[in-house]
Amino acid sequence: MKFKLLTTATLLLLLPNTYADVYNDTIDESADFFDDFYGSEQMVEIATGIKTQIYKAPAVATVFTAEQIKNMGATDIDDVLETVPGLHISRNAIGYNPIYSFRGIYSSNNGQALMMINGTPITNSFTGNRNQVWGGMPVEAIARIEVMRGPGSAIYGADAFAGVINIITKNADDIADNQVAYRAGTFDTHDVWLTLAGHSGNFKYASIFEYHKTDGSDKIITADRQTLNDIAHGTSVSNAPGQVSRYTENYDYRGELNYHDLTIRAGIQKRLRGIGIGLAEALDPSSRQSSTRWNFDISYDKQLTPNFEYQIKASYFDTTQEVEKDYIIYPSGYANSYPDGLIGNPEVFERHKRLNFNALYSGWSTHKIRFGMGYHNADLYKTKETKNFSFGANGENIPPGSPLQDVSDTDYIFLKERARDNTYLFIQDVWNFTNDWELTTGIRYDQYSDFGSTTNPRLALVWSTSLNLSTKLLYGKAFRAPSFSELGNINNPSQLGNPNLNPETIETTELVFDYHPANSMSAIVSFYQYNWDEIIILIPDNDEENILTSQNYGKQSAQGAELELNWKYNDILNISINYAYSDAKNDLTNQKVLYVPAHQWFIQTELNLSESLHLNIRNNIIQDRQRALSDSRKDIDDYLLTDLALRWSPVNIPIELALISKNIFNVDAREPSLNRKEVVYLPNDLPLPGRTLFGEIRYRF
- Would the CA dihedral through 622, 607, 576, 175 be positive or negative? negative
What helix, strand, coil percent values describe the chain, rounded to 5? 5, 55, 40
Q: Which CATH architecture has domain 42-552+564-629?
A: Beta Barrel (2.40)
How confident is the model over 377-428, as pLDDT tens digits? 999 999 999 999 999 999 999 999 999 999 999 999 999 999 999 999 999 9
The DSSP H or E segment spanning 69 is helix 66-71
Which pLDDT belongs to residue 55? Answer: 86
Rounded to the nearest integer, the mean pLDDT of the chain is 93
Q: Provide the CA 425 distance to its chain's centre, in angstroms.
A: 26
- Would the CA dihedral through 360, 364, 368, 374 be positive or negative? negative
158 pLDDT above the threshold of 50: yes
More confident residue, 8 or 150: 150
CA distances from 181 to 1, 189, 653, 657 (A): 39, 14, 15, 10
Which pLDDT belongs to residue 494? Answer: 73
Q: State how far the Cα of 56 lies from the Cα of 461, in Å rounded to an integer.
A: 10
How confident is the model over 80-118, as pLDDT tens digits? 999 999 999 999 999 999 999 999 999 999 999 999 999
From the CB of residue 488, how many other CB atoms can be counted at a distance below 10 Å? 22
> Would you say 667 and 699 are in contact if contact means Cβ atoms under 8 Å apart?
no
Largest CA distance in the chain: 83
pTM for the full predicted model: 0.93
- For the segment 539-545, the average pLDDT, to the nearest whole number, is 71
The DSSP H or E segment spanning 191 is strand 189-200
> Would you say 591 and 585 are in contact if contact means Cβ atoms under 8 Å apart?
yes
- For the segment 595-623, the average pLDDT, to the nearest whole number, is 97
DSSP state of 663: S
Three-class SS state of 436: coil
How confident is the model over 447-482, as pLDDT tens digits? 999 999 999 999 999 999 999 999 999 999 999 999
Binned at pLDDT 50, 70 and 90, residue 41 comes out as very low
Closest CA to 522 of 565, 568, 472, 573: 565
How confident is the model over 321-375, as pLDDT tens digits? 999 999 999 999 999 999 999 999 999 999 999 999 999 999 999 999 999 999 9
544 pLDDT above the threshold of 70: no
36 pLDDT above the threshold of 50: no
All structural domains of the chain with their residue ranges: 42-552+564-629
The β-bridge relationship of strands 142-149 and 163-169 is antiparallel
Question: How much of the chain, in percent, has pLDDT values that exceed 90?
Answer: 89
Which pLDDT belongs to residue 32? Answer: 40
Which pLDDT belongs to residue 4? Answer: 47
Binned at pLDDT 50, 70 and 90, residue 677 comes out as confident
Which pLDDT belongs to residue 542? Answer: 67
8 pLDDT above the threshold of 70: no
How confident is the model over 571-597, as pLDDT tens digits? 999 999 999 999 999 999 999 999 999
How confident is the model over 425-446, as pLDDT tens digits? 999 999 999 999 999 999 999 9
